[in-house]
Amino acid sequence: MSTAPSASSLSGPASTSQTFSAKEFFDTQPAPASLGAHTALVRDFVQRQQKEGRSVVLVTSGGTTVPLEQNVVRFLDNFSAGTRGATSAEYFLSQGYAVIFMHRQHSLAPYTRHYSHTTNPFLDLLAEPQEGDDTAPSSLNAPDGWRLGMGRGPHTHSKVVPIDDGAEAQPQQSQARAAGASSHPILVKSKHTEKLLPVLRAYHAAQKAQTLLRIPFVTVTDYLFLLRAVSGEMQTLGRRGMYYLAAAVSDFFVPEQKTPQHKIQSGKGSLVIEMDQVPKVLRPMVQDWAPEGYVVSFKLETDPKLLIPKARGALERYGHQLVIGNDLTRRKEEVVFVELEKEERWLRLSEMREALRGGLGGEVEIEEAIVKELCHRHQQWFQQAKLG
């Protein structure tokens, strides 16, 4: 993913741009402050999944930023909202994989994506509170910590009653609260409950099973440090680990050493920005960080003619298992699977609708087909290694 530099240097005369190797990058750029804590979370998560015999997939998702100041006021970004990653993560979970969801902070996330603040704002699902809404709901069972029932009395709404803020409610406490003794029920308009329930159930099921770990990043530097660390922790999974690199990673950045500390002042004419090339990390990823893993990268192009040659070029250069090609404007309708020495395979939503079940939100999404196909290929690859 390119964040194309329009010109050069952040302040004044042209400086010399540099091409960083991966090693130089990690030796000279600052690791994110939370790296140690996040790595520890990943370690625990991987150990738990391994004990339970689950395959684990790392899903990277969303765009990376390039800060223009150390005290960041301005930064460069890209288009990705993290739809591909968040949607795919849900399907991986439904296929029995544990998911490390490494995502751009505040981008779309599995389950909550159905109710983001812009599409389907959550407050729009709720009815305006009315007098008497704190009466007892009927006893339809909802996921833990919540009670859901059809509205009674004058309202034709369903009720979702928070019993406890995430903690396990004590039996008497639940009874008391469900009876409306100390909490006011929140009414969900009935037309929304049908769609909300499966999402809510799947969300709580993943929480209960502890199969989803969310790790945020913001800058391209954070992303690369995290990718290396998370891959390192996943090495113990061997072939049970899959790497699904769907994040839109900037190809250019401003090294910390060339980034001004304070806000760039206006009034000196145009701003000229020079960016250095971000090292391609697929090579160290395949060779050193995840040598036994099943590595899937994405190739994004805007010129459809370039898609397959570029995908094949990446496979030849880096030697990983699979590239999924997607064209910017058609990425939700079709993708192409490219493997070395095999014919490419197009997955087209228009040709597959009948064969797909549809997601939690009721829509048919291309990620369902992508993830099914990938899980199948990954499991086959895993079995082959066991046999031979």
> What single-letter DSSP state applies at residue 168?
P
Minimum CB–partner distance for residue 328 and ligand PMT (Å): 7
The C-alpha atoms of residue 328 and residue 264 are separated, in whole angstroms, by: 33
- CB 73, min distance to ligand PMT, A: 25
Q: Shortest approach of ligand PMT to residue 362 CB, angstroms?
A: 19
3-class secondary-structure state, position 241? strand
The residues that touch ligand PMT, with contacts defined as CB under 6 A, are 1, 80-84, 245-246, 248-249, 251, 278, 280-282, 297-300, 326, 331
Among 18, 24, 6, smallest CA distance to 68 is for 6
The minimum distance between CB 187 and ligand PMT, in angstroms, equals 33
Kindly tell me which of 81 and 290 has the beta carbon lying closer to ligand PMT. 81
Taking each helix axis from N to C end, the angle separating 220-234 and 35-51, rounded to the nearest 10 degrees, works out to 30
List the structure tokens of 353. 């609708």
158 vs 253, which CB is nearer to ligand PMT?
253
Q: Which is closer to ligand PMT, CB of 46 or CB of 278? A: 278
Helix axes 83-94, 366-387, angle to 10 degrees: 50
Question: Which CB atom, from 226 or from 249, has the smaller least distance to ligand PMT?
Answer: 249
Least distance from C-beta 278 to ligand PMT, angstroms?
Answer: 4
Q: 159 - beta bridge partners?
A: 149, 187
**Contact (CB, 8 A) for 60 and 244:** yes
Nearest Cα neighbor of 281 from 307, 240, 253, 260 is 253
Cβ-based nearer residue to ligand PMT, 202 or 249: 249
Least distance to ligand PMT, CB of residue 94, Å: 18
Q: Which residue number, 245 or 338, has a Cβ lying nearer to ligand PMT?
A: 245
Helices within the chain (DSSP H only): 22-28, 35-51, 83-94, 171-178, 190-209, 220-234, 282-284, 304-318, 349-352, 366-387
3-state SS assignment for residue 346? strand
Q: Closer to ligand PMT by CB, 51 or 305: give it.
A: 305
Q: Which is nearer to ligand PMT, 158 or 326 (CB)?
A: 326
Q: How far is the CB of 385 from ligand PMT (least distance, A)?
A: 23
- Bridge partner list, 277: 19, 252
Q: How far is the CB of 70 from ligand PMT (least distance, A)?
A: 21
Do residues 92 and 276 lie in contact, with contact meaning Cβ atoms separated by under 8 Å? no
Contact status, residue 108 vs residue 101, Cβ threshold 8 Å? no
The CA-based dihedral angle spanning residues 379, 347, 224, 249, taken in that order and rounded to the nearest 10 degrees: 180
Tell me the sheet residues that pair with 142. none
